[in-house]
Amino acid sequence: MTRARDLADSADKDIAGTLTLDDLTVDNNVGIGTSSPDAKLHINESAAAGTGIFLTNDNNTSGTYSDIRWQYSPSDPSYASGIRFKQLDTTHGGQLEFFTDNTVGTYTQRMTITEDGYVGIGTSSPSATLTVSQGANNIFAVERTGVGSGSGQFGINIESNSQTTMSYDDGAPLVIGTASNPSTHVGFSERMRIDQAGRVTMPYQPSWSLARGGAAYYTTSAGAIINFSNTTSWVGRHNIQANSNGAGRVTVIKDGRYQINVTAYYKRSGSSNDSYIYLRINGTADIWAGSSSARTDTYYDTITLTYVVDLSANDYLEIHSGANTFDVYGASTFSGFLIG
C-alpha cells in the first residue's frame, strides 16, 4: 500500500496496487491506465466495454443525488453547468438532470431524462417522449444553416392567450408531403402547400387562371361578361368556355369552397359615375364587389377583388361589368382554386 507521504519526494510516481488517501494535491496531471496523461485527469481503457467513471451513493432515500459540476471557483458558482444523477425512490428509478447558470447567476435545471425515458426541456416533469416548455415565444424552431434572418426557418409557439401558432419563412411556401424515407426525404412527393399569401393548394387541385396578354383591349358594354384572352392555364379539368373575345366562363368540376381572384385593368368610357365589376354564378346569382371611383384625368383604373364562395360541381362563373362601359386592357386576370 502506498500512502500520500511516500509520494512527496518525487515529481513523477507510478503506483501499483491500492492507494489510500485522505487528501491529495497534485501539481500536474494524473493518469489512470496511462503513464502519459494529457489532462488533469486522464483515464485510459483498452476494453470494448469500459467501466469509465463509476459513482455510487448508498444514502438510499428518495431525492438523493450526486453531481458532476463545473463552476468558476469553489466559492463562486458563476458560469456553472453540471449533470445530476438522482435517485427517485427506494426501489428502482433514476433520472438525469442537466443544469446551467442562468443570466442572473442561478443554477437552473434545463433538461431532464426520466426513469421512463421521457425527455423534458424546460420542465422537470415531461409527460411525453419529448416535452418542451417555456414561458415565452421561441418554444420550438428548426432552421437550415447558412441562410439569412427570417429565411429557412420554421417555428411553433403557444401564445400567452393559449393560441398555438406555427410560422415559416415568409419568402417561401410551407410544403407538406410523403416520402419513402421521411428522415432523409428520399422519394419526397408534395401533397399540400401553403404559399406566402396563406393560400392552401395541392398538386392537381382544381384551379384556373385566365389572363389578357399584351396591350390589346376590347370594349365591354354595361352589364356584359368580361372576356379574357385565350392565354389560359388550369389543372383539374375545369371547363373554360371561349367567347367572342376570348375565354370568360369557368365551370367547376368539384363541390367545395373556392377562392376567386379578379384584377381588371381598364379605361373608363365616362367619368360621371363609379365603375364596378361583379361575379355571376350560373347566370343569375350575383355577388357585387369591386367599386372604383372615377379618375377624371385619363380615366385609367384598376379593380382588384377576392371572393370566397361555396360551389357545386357544374356551377359556372362569369365576371361582369357594372353600369358603365369601359375598355378592358392587358394584365387583367380571372383565377381561382379549391380551398376546402
pLDDT by residue (tens digit) across 164-196? Answer: 888 888 778 888 999 999 888 899 988 888 877
Q: Predicted confidence band at 234 (pLDDT cuts at 50, 70, 90)? A: low
pLDDT tens digit sequence for 14-62: 666 666 767 777 778 889 899 899 999 999 999 999 988 999 999 999 9
- Is pLDDT above 60 for 238? no
* pLDDT confidence of residue 91: 83
The pLDDT of residue 244: 40
Query: What is the pLDDT confidence band of residue 336, given thresholds at 50, 70 and 90?
Result: confident
305 — pLDDT class (breaks 50, 70, 90): confident
Instruction: Please determine, for residue 272, whether its predicted confidence score (pLDDT) is greater than 70.
Output: no
Mean pLDDT of the chain: 79
- The more confident residue out of 119 and 3 is 119
Average pLDDT over residues 255-264: 87
pLDDT band (50, 70, 90) for residue 247: low
pLDDT value of residue 237: 47
Q: What are the DSSP calls for 318-337, one per residue?
A: EEEE-SS-EEE-TT-EEEEE
Determine how β-strand 41-43 pairs with β-strand 65-70: unpaired
* Mean local confidence (pLDDT), 50-76: 91
Residues 262-280 have a mean pLDDT of 69
Q: Report the pLDDT value the prediction gives residue 236, as an integer from 0 to 100.
A: 52
The more confident residue out of 237 and 217 is: 217
Q: Which amino acid is at 14?
A: D
**Residue 118, pLDDT above cutoff 70:** yes
Percent share of the chain, pLDDT over 90: 23
Asked if residue 174 lies in contact with residue 190, where contact means CB atoms within 8 angstroms, the answer is no
Contact 187, 177 (CB under 8 A): no
- The pLDDT of residue 72 is above 80: yes
Distances (CA, A) of 84 to 18, 53, 73, 127: 29, 14, 19, 20
Mean per-residue pLDDT, 274-284: 79
| The model's pTM | 0.58
pLDDT at 121: 96
Residue 131 has pLDDT above 90, yes or no: yes
Are 210 and 334 in contact by the 8 Å Cβ rule? The answer is: yes
- Is the pLDDT at 106 greater than 80? The verdict is yes
Say which range, 48-52, 140-144, 207-211, has the weakest mean pLDDT.
207-211
Give residue 264's pLDDT.
Answer: 78
Is residue 232 over pLDDT 80? Answer: no
**8 Å CB contact between 306 and 258:** no
Burial label for 338, CB within 10 Å (0-12, 13-18, 19+), is buried
Pairwise pLDDT comparison (108 vs 208), residue with the higher score: 108
User: What's the pLDDT score for residue 10?
Assistant: 54
